[in-house]
Amino acid sequence: MAIQFTDANFKTEVLEADKPVLVDFYADWCGPCRMMAPIIDELAAEYEGIVKIGKLNVDDNPNTARHYRVLSIPTMIIFKNGEVLDTVVGTVPKNMLKEKLDAHK
């Protein structure tokens, strides 16, 4: 199951993480986000202990979404050592996200 990131825990859970982190910026009302949700959960299980994978609700946590200029959702951003490594916008196949994660783990 994917971790729930918030404005309050983003610094410690994502920016200070000791492994790469995939953050899925989403909203409950977003159809494409709901399509990506099972893929994000599957990846969280597959990469457990290797990559931290979680979700951030942009409606409940606007400060973080604004800081990273998330204008369209779903947006998936891969972080490592507090830096943005890669960004994917929109619905994408699971294998595309796996390739990006494998390149940065």
Order of strands, sheet of 21-26, starting from the edge strand that comes earlier in the sequence: 3-5, 52-57, 21-26, 75-80, 83-89
Active-site residue, from 2, 14, 21, 33: 33
DSSP alpha helices (H): ranges in 50-93? 62-67
Active-site residue, from 14, 21, 30, 40: 30
Cα distances (Å, whole numbers) of residue 105 to 18, 20, 21, 73 = 11, 6, 9, 24
User: Catalytic: 85?
Assistant: no
User: Catalytic: 58?
Assistant: no
Please name the residue that has the structure tokens 């410690």: 12
Please name the residue that has the structure tokens 């994978």: 53
**What positions carry a catalytic annotation?**
30, 33
